[in-house]
Structure 1
């Protein structure tokens, strides 16, 4: 299986982001917030990223956050259910450590699968 981040695995249009935000389901981590919406049956997980200038002024820092999250998504995409995800930076990290950002994102994915299995069971 390819571990690329092809266009079919991304949220690209404003309407796609708006529909995920409009679904109003979110999980908060230490620095990140994960908004999610069930995707199309038979499809795959898709990712969108929002890292604003308000929290990280330097473009190099914003790009680093996005790079870490995209990398973790690529590695875990096959394990994820068909869901549209928007990851947003919710708090300014004191110091940017790739490992801590990756752990926060993976913890959010773990909570997401726990929420989904709870709902399907009831």
Structure 2
């Protein structure tokens, strides 16, 4: 017997990536870009903004992968999947911030493992305390 839970009663695991962990609105993206704080790596910029105390705790992620840098949609989607997966696995350790991961340079060649490592290292920089 397989009983299903009603749609409103679903439990979210610690490693899930529901809409509450995503930046979805233009205003949310604008506020992060307006804060003008970012970490840089070879191919990515990680923009971030501290969240106010009255906001729900936890990190949220937005992604920007420009078509002019990566023409094929398959490759853009791969980069997004890698970013979401790394964020999902590290979210419980990240401070309460809004993050936008933006592809800033064309990755030539498109190496899945190297991009995943680069994304993971950027997110790990968010975990270490600022000096």
| TM-score by shorter chain over 0.5 | yes
- 8 Å CA contact retained: 2:24, 2:62: yes
Which of 7, 10, 14 lines up with 1:2 in the alignment?
Answer: 14
* Runs ≥4 residues deviating over 6 A: none
Distance in 1 between the 2:33 and 2:116 partners? 22
Query: Mapping of 1:51-90 within 5 angstroms?
Result: 51-90=65-104
2:49 alignment partner, one of 29, 37, 44: 37
State TM-score, norm by structure 1: 0.90
Which deviates more, 40-49 or 11-20?
Answer: 40-49
Tell me the distance in 2 between the aligned counterparts of 1:63 and 1:109: 19
Cα distance in 2 for residues equivalent to 1:40 and 1:70:
23
Residue 118 of structure 1 deviates from its aligned partner by: 2.7
**Partner Cα distance (1:118, 1:6) in 2:** 28
Q: Say how many residue pairs are matched.
A: 117
List alignment gaps of at least 5 residues for structure 2: 1-12
Higher helix share: 1
TM-score (norm 2): 0.84
List runs of 5+ in structure 1 lacking aligned partners.
none
* RMSD across aligned positions (CA): 1.3
